[in-house]
Amino acid sequence: MHHRRLPLGPPRALVVVLVALLGALGGSVPGVAQESSAPSVPVSPEEVVRGDSSVRRISLVINVGAGYTPATSMLDTLRERSLRTTFFVLGWWAEQHPELLARIAADGHEIGSHGHSVFDLTRVSDAEVLADLERADAAISAVTGRTTRPLWSPSAGYRDARVRRLAASIGYRPIYWTVDSGDWRTDATAESVRRRVLEGADNGAIIVLHFDSPTTPQTTAVVLGDLIDTLRARGFELVTITELLTG
């Protein structure tokens, strides 16, 4: 479903700088969320597609790693509206954009795994599935100072029972979505994204947006503030995936 450019070249040297900084500061960067005793989503191969339908909560999740220009204005919008949400990040992207990932973490957002660089995990071996997930966690945690476990959303939505079982075997819970905003499509418009999100908004919904799809700067980034305001005006509490599933 989602189209992504493949990463080119080695990780930026800034990754090394950030890793060194992590060590110098005792394993943390000021403002970056650290491990806590807060409730955690239970590990299981059972896929999550929505939260409690009796509670007026929604999670606007943001997938990262399509490989196009990141819509960094989305981070400004989230901060202006005091919204912490969940980002599912591809490991290769974390290696290429450590400064942006560090900003996402410093703003208090929850960060889950979107895999590393295997586009379709259903087409590779068990060993390759596990290696991709472990590599992603290593790349992301090198910047954020914390593991992505237990949150994992499959790249492009490619998953099956085998992949879900393997992910659970190393501490992950598969997270899918209730509503696809369609902002990954090359023919997406700001209005089409707004319409799909608002029409699909319902109790417990997981609504997926994208940080760096081909059209994100002209679509999701433009309507994000209005979406947040409208959903809140409708009485929805906007929360992270962990809050949606454990709150």
User: What are 34-69's pLDDT values in tens digits?
Assistant: 445 678 999 999 999 999 999 999 999 999 999 999
- Report the share of the chain in percent with pLDDT over 70: 85
pLDDT tops 60 at residue 7: no
Model confidence over 56-103: pLDDT tens digits?
999 999 999 999 999 999 999 999 999 999 999 999 999 999 999 999
Contact 178, 50 (CB under 8 A): yes
Query: What residues pair up with 112 in beta bridges, in sequence order?
Result: 88
Across 21-46, average pLDDT: 60
Burial tier of 19 (Cβ tally within 10 Å: 0-12, 13-18, 19+): middle
Contact 151, 173 (CB under 8 A): yes
For helices 161-169 and 126-144, the axis angle rounded to 10 degrees is 50
pTM across the whole model: 0.86
Long-range contact pairs involving 120-128 (C-beta distance under 8 Å, separation at least 24)? 120/155, 120/156, 120/158, 121/154, 121/155, 121/158, 121/159, 121/163, 122/158, 122/159, 122/160, 122/162, 122/163, 123/158, 126/162, 126/166
pLDDT value, residue 247: 84
For helices 98-106 and 126-144, the axis angle rounded to 10 degrees is 70
pLDDT tops 80 at residue 28: no
* Amino acid (one-letter) located at 235: G
pLDDT value, residue 26: 38
Q: Report how far residue 34's alpha carbon sits from residue 144's, in angstroms, rounded to the nearest whole number.
A: 8
Mean pLDDT of the chain: 89
pLDDT tops 60 at residue 27: no
pLDDT tops 80 at residue 23: no
pLDDT value, residue 37: 63
Q: Report how far residue 138's alpha carbon sits from residue 13's, in angstroms, rounded to the nearest whole number.
A: 16
Q: How far is CA 113 from the centre of its chain?
A: 7
* Amino acid (one-letter) located at 170: I
Q: How far, in Å, are 44, 47, 101, 129, 144 from residue 32 at the CA level?
A: 27, 28, 10, 28, 7
